[in-house]
Structure 1
């Protein structure tokens, strides 16, 4: 009998010759970029720093494409978006101390949104690891401790021979369902020292599939097939697992209405007769889901936003499919199935029997009619018109990235189809640098970024990045003179707002100073101006002065 551990890959004579005579002039940084290339990376994001120079010097000896941003947090957002749109691990190269710590908010968003980011940071020289007393520039007592609560795994390298294995282990961790960011740190002297190690050859770091237990999917199939009023909540795990087709097939087989979470937008066709769309912040939708006797939750932990701010009180049986073990039954008791969404949905399709419900589409229409009537009763015509204008201007299939701004809050519920936002962790400044990351993945097609003026100020420096790499990103800045959503929250809660009003630049003139074409628009001209900007090559900015309002909450 032959076991896997009995199989030894024997090098060819050419490989032996190459290993015994590596090219001169290489250092530890070369081992980093050779490993990344061997794992299949083609593009890396980052920002250099003193301790990380060995990695960045090695980039010029590699075929990796480097996209350098101006702020480490923005580089993290760009890598996050690259991982979201490609499904591939996105390398992020950073320096020590302040450079590393500045990326934390972006890595928190990547963790919340399950984006596979492989962050590789330098460290102080190996002699100073764990000390905090040596007086090195950027030194921290325990740098990795700052990241352990944010990322999936941390990996500290202490010698050059550890570099390929550590990065490969991190790569596999990032791509294991649920995807997420990982952290590797390598001392400065290890990166700078000349190496005699052989050139790193291509390697596999494929993660193990998270496969459902068959006895659980059998029970789930029985519950769904015999339900009187089944319904489905589709979360971001469906999108990340590329399981939208399997979800559609299952919903149609069961005649089960489907609502997508804000992170799961695009998981189900918006205009399908069974689509409840994404109106999760609406009591009519919440009531419908509470009335389901069997509720299938796929790829969602039913967190704050997905549960209408934890007002959702289901009365029926829940079946939850979730790749993140920590989210399984974390908010509601369920038949918990720990699995990748795609594999679990396939298992259900193979075992569930068909059910027919001729009332399902009518019940969906009734809910959507109630939602529309509620919105119609509020004075929100301008907001709806602006969102529709943006949708009309965006070419079919073009990705969009949204900052934490009122128009994005509208889009979570009302945008018809896929979109990307920072609603996982909720930090400001995501939209524009994330759009740059997506454009780096596909520079042949336009990408839309949407920010408020407050969030835009986090990312202004990246106009230089957009121009330097000529990335086709159109940035829509909705200028309402402050932190608009916080203004609403404070006014509603305290009667007036504090610390929400902002001085801001002339965004058009500022963009043009970077060499980026810009235009000031109005609600009437928004579609034409935005479409023109998206059709033009390279980056552009469209500024819309507008004071928008949110629809009234229904969870109170």
Structure 2
């Protein structure tokens, strides 16, 4: 049997003629841009810098759309979001040294969230490589070393002929399950030198499929079919692999209650009779999962947040489907199935017979009732009202991007993400400043849909410069800033642990006036007016800012 990609394609006479007489004025930068276009890229993010000016000059001669942000970490967050919402590789153009290093926080989040980002960075000239100190601007002894612990793979280029293959290999790596960020670095002189090579033609970079081993599928199917109290934990891998429909089909076939992790929000319908929702920081949910005699964990490593801060201790048999080999059985012994979530769930659907449990929905309602009773007893009506206002104002299909702030901590557990792949946060790596630049990346991916960003005033200060980006490109992002005068969640943590907080109180600007100085419409709202004000801002084209002065409190989690 012959596969298409095994065939040797012979150039036509016209292709040969074009290859022998490439256009004049091209550089190594053109080879980069031509390769990206040949791989199917349409949009690139980044910032120009001395070492990659040839790439930016080549963009001028291409059809690729460039979205330039003001800070490299923000450009990385935008690329991360573009990769999440489209499932496509998001190219990120960076300079060398300080500019490259500024992207590390964003690439760490992309790695934690399995977002396919292709970072292409400059390097000092070839003669300056090798670990010495040659005095080049932005020089690092080993730039790759700073990224190797963060990204999936590192690809180096030393000659122009290596550019197409290196970028294609990185592209394939980014899209191979688990998706993730990859790193390509190219020396300045390689990019700037005239190119005599032919124009790069469309490039094939097929990601490898990660299918489950059939003997493991057989065992998993047997365990689920014979379980008395099965349950499912659905993580971000279900969303990344577009497997929500298959998850729903399997849960209904075996009557298994489903909990979605914070990274898996939207993977299972919130109002479904089998939905335990996302109350992972609650002992009632943890007890229920511990009581399952067979627990199917799909696309989650059961890390700190997903395991109720490592207090979760399953008593039954665990089946873990995970594309990231390093996460397989990292926290709990399991029948480890190294596979893409979609392919593994497909295999189970072909293998597991129907199983009926009329009491399953009743047990789910009982757990959710106990959770709600506990929350209602904590005097947190304001917080629930604010979150409900956001939910009511946001169209079901509109994506939301949430920074590390108290309202986000609420949303992880209590927000109904009504569509898969619509609720995104920085909970993977946990850095500040994610929401607004990420929302800009999503808006660049789909200008027809409004996008919400949610930040606290502390996290908002990381992205203020990107108000200029939002205005420049007319991106449809509404930025909700909950202004409580400091780092609210850290204030709570420190007060609880030490009796008082230090370093958490912040001087901050008038966010409304500041946004308006960028030409971005802004308003100050209240909890009572939030629903109407937010809905109106989301309905208007272009960027906008809504500021909510409010001190919100976290609900008390229960571990033991």
Alignment TM-score, normalising by the size of structure 2: 0.98
Post-superposition Cα deviations, 1:317-360, rounded to whole Å, max 9, x if no partner, equal 00000000110000000000000000000000001011100000
Q: Which residue of 1 aligns with 2:349?
A: 349
1:132 to partner: Cα distance? 3.5
Q: Which residue of 2 aligns with 1:362?
A: 362
1:7 to partner: Cα distance? 3.3
1:4 to partner: Cα distance? 8.1
Q: Which residue of 2 aligns with 1:123?
A: 123
Residue 446 of structure 1: which of 443, 446, 450 is its match? 450
For 2:111 and 2:449, the matched residues in 1 are separated by 27
Does residue 553 of structure 2 align to residue 549 of structure 1? yes
Q: Which residue of 1 aligns with 2:86?
A: 86
For 1:154 and 1:29, the matched residues in 2 are separated by 19
For 1:513 and 1:132, the matched residues in 2 are separated by 46
- The answer for unaligned runs of 5 or more in structure 1 is none
Post-superposition Cα deviations, 1:87-146, rounded to whole Å, max 9, x if no partner, equal 000000000000000000000000000000000000000111123411000000000000
Matches within 5 A, 1:23-422: 23-417=23-417, 418-422=422-426
Q: Which residue of 1 aligns with 2:522?
A: 518
Q: Which residue of 2 aligns with 1:16?
A: 16
1:2 to partner: Cα distance? 6.5
Post-superposition Cα deviations, 1:499-544, rounded to whole Å, max 9, x if no partner, equal 0000000000000000000000000110111111101110000000
Partners of 1:46 and 1:75 within 8 A in 2: yes
For 1:113 and 1:126, the matched residues in 2 are separated by 34
Q: CA 1:377–1:160 in 2, change beyond 3 Å: closer, same or farther?
A: same
For 2:2 and 2:404, the matched residues in 1 are separated by 56
CA RMSD of aligned residues (A): 1.0
For 1:2 and 1:398, the matched residues in 2 are separated by 44
- The answer for unaligned runs of 5 or more in structure 2 is none
Post-superposition Cα deviations, 1:16-63, rounded to whole Å, max 9, x if no partner, equal 011011111000000000000000000000000011101100000000
Post-superposition Cα deviations, 1:266-301, rounded to whole Å, max 9, x if no partner, equal 110000000000000000000000000000000000
Q: Which residue of 2 aligns with 1:508?
A: 512
For 1:504 and 1:273, the matched residues in 2 are separated by 45
Q: Which residue of 1 aligns with 2:460?
A: 456
Task: Report the 3-state secondary structure (helix = DSSP H, G, I; strand = E; otherwise coil) of the residue aligned with 2:542.
Answer: coil
Partners of 1:132 and 1:139 within 8 A in 2: no
For 1:360 and 1:7, the matched residues in 2 are separated by 53
Partners of 1:90 and 1:118 within 8 A in 2: yes
Post-superposition Cα deviations, 1:413-452, rounded to whole Å, max 9, x if no partner, equal 0000141000000000000000000000001111000000
Task: Report the 3-state secondary structure (helix = DSSP H, G, I; strand = E; otherwise coil) of the residue aligned with 1:351.
Answer: coil
Partners of 1:132 and 1:142 within 8 A in 2: no
1:6 to partner: Cα distance? 7.1
Q: Which residue of 2 aligns with 1:473?
A: 477
Tell me which stretches of 4 or more aligned residues in structure 1 moved more than 6 Å. 1-6
For 1:46 and 1:230, the matched residues in 2 are separated by 46
For 1:497 and 1:377, the matched residues in 2 are separated by 26
Partners of 1:153 and 1:170 within 8 A in 2: yes
Alignment TM-score, normalising by the size of structure 1: 0.99
Aligned residues: 556
